[in-house]
Structure 1
Amino acid sequence: MERREALKNLGFGSMALFTSTVFFGALQGCSSAAELDWKPVYLSPEEASQLGKVCEGIMPKTSTPGAIEAGVPSHLDSALANIYRNREAEYFKRGLNVFVANFNANQEVSFDKATTEQMTEAINSYFDKYEADKDILRNYRAEFRKEGEKDDVFVETYFVTNVVDSTIWSYFSSELVGKEVMAYDPIPGKYEGCIPYEPGQKAWSNV
């Protein structure tokens, strides 16, 4: 299944289950993340590289560009520095570190050596767990509204749910995807509120 076809059937919920095993399975790639070729402003170079690997596991390169090629990791790093509230940027950063540590502890390969497909499977496992036990996200949302120090379970849940949502948003907001993957018309003309949409037609870009 093509990435766009998988996305067409996907619905999102705020800070909830943004995806499913079927979705990520449809997006699997087989290559590992590229070397870091940009300068992070919030994350350390190592964390930025790790984030890139996770993002590529969410939106891997297929017949269309992957998250790294679309500049998603650098976009998210900039958002952490300039848009996220301080405490939530810290949740994301801590959650990334917990995610990597748990990957190394629970997977057959180390995080650094994992392929994109293995990263996809690891992310899937979290959403399988969230779907099987609804209390995980219910308790997470309740804890999110409280002040005070957060434990590793909380920040990892924040990272996993947030990075999926943010990666998809950033990917489809990127100039590369907006102009080369989606239907793009820089001078769209008059507004038409209801036009035919043919099967297989590209979704319109918002770039």
Structure 2
Amino acid sequence: MNRREAVKNVAFLMGGALSATTIGVFLESCNSTSTKAKGSLFTDDQQELITEIADIIIPTTSTPGAKAAGVGPFISMMVKDCYPDDAQKAFVKGLDDLDKQAKDEYKKSFINLSVAERQELLGKLRDETVAATKVEKEKLAEQDKQKPVTTSILPKDKPKMEPRFFAIIRDLTLLGYFTSEIGATQAYEFVEIPGRYDGCMDMKPGQRVWA
């Protein structure tokens, strides 16, 4: 199985943990035969910013974090090659807005902030995203009384949600990390050559889930 298939499989397994935009991508865009425009979507500074944001979302603890797993380049590749134009524009704008907010609040760029300052900014952005998404779902539900808004991965239930920067970078950080070698073999319990399949195995307190 190649990396693309692994990413798609993990995306469907995560299901409701992903944003509507990312679910839509794996239902449509990555199955499309159309070719995205060549060239880089991000500047070198933006690429560095992506890498640092991912490393705040999954930092190094007892296992290596997102930066060590090479998640930054993965995010850039996925946004450029798989996400539609409106999501790409929202993502680039989100990067610029986050850096501007860092300069407004701390008088320095996001890259130069301390870990605590980065966490605070991303925490605010997360809360804003959750609140805005909730409002949007309520509006859509009001418009469609016949069926509640859903983030089901089923094509017939394709959600109609505005792409949001934080949701996309969170989704891709998780997907990139847990389909990387580091994520699959160190963050998860991993058996390179497994024996029989056991669908109901007790886990010890603190034990990592199996890859």
TM value normalised by structure 2: 0.65
Partner of 1:137: 133
State whether residues 94 and 165 of structure 2, in contact with CA within 8 Å, keep that contact through their aligned partners in structure 1. Answer: yes
Once residues 140 and 92 of structure 1 are traced to their aligned partners in structure 2, the CA distance between those partners, rounded to angstroms, is: 18
Amino acid at match of 2:44: P
Larger Rg: 2
Q: Percent identity?
A: 24
> RMSD of the TM alignment (CA)?
2.8
Partner of 1:69: 68
State whether residues 57 and 117 of structure 1, in contact with CA within 8 Å, keep that contact through their aligned partners in structure 2. Answer: no
> Superposed, which structure 2 residues align to 1:147-162 within 5 Å?
158-162=164-168
Q: 1:97 to 1:62 in 2, by over 3 A?
A: same
Give structure 1 stretches of 5+ with no counterpart.
1-10, 17-39, 147-153
Partner of 2:19: 15
Partner of 1:50: 49
Query: Displacement of 1:100 after TM fit?
Result: 1.3
Paired residue total: 160
* Bigger relative CO (Cα 8 Å, ≥ 6 apart): 2
Structure 1, residues 20-76: CA drift from partner, whole Å, max 9, x if none?
xxxxxxxxxxxxxxxxxxxx9431111101111111111112222111111010111
Which of the pair is proportionally richer in helix? 2
Q: Secondary structure at the match of 2:123?
A: helix
Query: Displacement of 1:14 after TM fit?
Result: 3.9
Is 2:80 the partner of 1:78?
no
Structure 1, residues 139-169: CA drift from partner, whole Å, max 9, x if none?
45569948xxxxxxx77xx111221222122
Give structure 2 stretches of 5+ with no counterpart.
1-14, 21-38, 141-158
Q: 1:122 to 1:195 in 2, by over 3 A?
A: same
